[in-house]
Amino acid sequence: MTNPAGQKRGANHLTSSAADAKKPKSNGSITSFFGAPKSKPAESKPPSPALSSAKQKWIASLTPEQKELLQLEIDTLHDSWLVQLKEELVSPEFLNLKRFLLKEKKSGAQIFPPENEIYSWSRHTPLHNVKVVVVGQDPYHNHNQAHGLAFSVRPPTPAPPSLVNIYRGIKVDYPSFQPPPNKGGLLTPWADRGVLMLNTCLTVRAHQANSHANKGWERFTQKAIDAVARVRTRGVVFLAWGKPAGNRVAGVNRQKHCVLQSVHPSPLSAHRGFFDNGHFKKTNEWLAERYGADGVIDWSLTSKEKTDMPSPDIESPSVLVEETKRPAEKTEPQPQKTSTVSKAAELVKVADEFEDDDDVFQEDPDVLEALMREPALS
């Protein structure tokens, strides 16, 4: 179910002051809405002297063992995040996680994503740029897949089933949306625009889903989510797909932030409400109210499409008319299935072809149970 904060505007939709809730200007030109020049990713900007000074002071306070264990965080975790998470980094739980990862490395185990990309989410989306948080679960665990952003894969790896369904959901909200060419699945443009693509666990053994679960990553990434909710006082949209993701945002202040929940986009569950949840347009409607037209997310992943997506300004009469004139989306005929068992088996096979959705069963067993309860299609 979606949080009421994600619905159309109502009397209680915004809880900030009028000065905080900057209204978007009426926009009759689609080009002017998404065609404005984009600023360069914040990771290209040098850290402020204050941040650098705080970081150096923190490094100086570390013991020799802590410095050795935390060298990756010192080198690759963006300063904006490190300053907020520095206390967690020296906690016994996180240091034990680092000792475990060091042991894995010395054993010769292959770990994904590559070490220098574990914190790529922090560099693509510095804390002060976060406007949307997408909560993932386990990194992909095959070669050339995981690179530190939830749901994203590097070319030439094709978009996995869950991401294909995310594309489909965007196209319902924005019919002009086109997936990247060559079945691409690289989501760095979203991350650079303020969409934090954060997995719950940040590492995994090759070909072993959830192999690094319950080792300490869950606590660390929860602290990252908490930092967003605490620091980004103007408001952030949290997209939580699936029960585990919903649990991660349970403590978010919904008077200050917008939380949108639905089933996971995995082929195992997406047919139960993901495609028509409207999350991508609701996200932009909410952001437009808080930040103005310049604050919305451009969901496009192709250069040609950037100016074709409709404005999310739900008060614009032209947009309302456009919405009513859109033809109903055609649905492809579904293959016949003879039993609930064969139906579940077929969906599992689809997910296993990419091996990215194993955690949906392991962390959200209600998905399989729901599938088995559904009547067979004749």
Domain assignments of the chain as residue spans, ordered by start: 4-8+49-322+336-373
Q: How far is residue 259 from each of residues 13, 174, 236, 244, measured CA to CA in Å?
A: 12, 21, 8, 14
Query: What pLDDT was estimated at residue 126?
Result: 98
Each residue's pLDDT tens digit, 268-286: 999 999 999 999 999 999 9
How is domain 4-8+49-322+336-373 classified at the CATH fold level? Answer: Uracil-DNA Glycosylase, subunit E (3.40.470)
| Catalytic residue (one of 20, 75, 79, 138) | 138
Lowest model confidence (mean pLDDT) among 6-20, 169-183, 325-339:
6-20
Q: Say whether the peptide bond before residue 333 is cis (omega within 30 degrees of 0).
A: no
Give per-residue pLDDT as tens, 28-65: 332 333 333 343 444 445 556 776 788 999 999 999 99
Q: What is the DSSP string of 301-324?
A: -SGGGTTTSPP--TT-HHHHHHHH
Q: Mean pLDDT, to the nearest integer, of 316-320?
A: 26
Chain segment 70-84, per-residue pLDDT in tens: 999 999 999 999 999
pLDDT on residue 46: 54
Q: How do residues 79-111 score in pLDDT, each as one tens digit?
A: 999 999 999 999 999 999 999 999 999 999 999
* 226/321: higher pLDDT: 226
Question: Nearest CA to 193 among 279, 117, 300?
Answer: 300
How far apart CA 335 and CA 251 sit, in angstroms, is 41
Residue 197: φ, ψ to 5°: -100, 90
Query: What three-state secondary structure class fits 240?
Result: strand
**Average pLDDT value for residue range 189-198:** 98
Mean pLDDT of 171-179: 97
pLDDT in tens, 205-234: 999 999 999 999 999 999 999 999 999 999
Distance CA 345, CA 328 (A): 31
Q: How far apart are CA 78 and CA 55, in angstroms?
A: 10
The pLDDT assigned to 9 comes to 38
138 classed as catalytic = yes
Tokens in use for 294? 């310049």
Going by C-beta distance under 8 Å and a sequence separation of 6 or more, which residues neighbour residue 259? 3, 5, 6, 237, 238, 240, 249, 252
The pLDDT score that the predictor gives to residue 360 is 46
Would you place residue 123 in the very low, low, confident or very high pLDDT band (cuts 50, 70, 90)?
very high
- Helix or strand (DSSP H, E) at 359: helix 358-363
Look up the pTM and report it: 0.74
Q: With 50 as the cut, is the pLDDT of residue 152 above it?
A: yes
What's the pLDDT tens digit per position in 291-317? 999 999 999 998 655 534 444 433 322
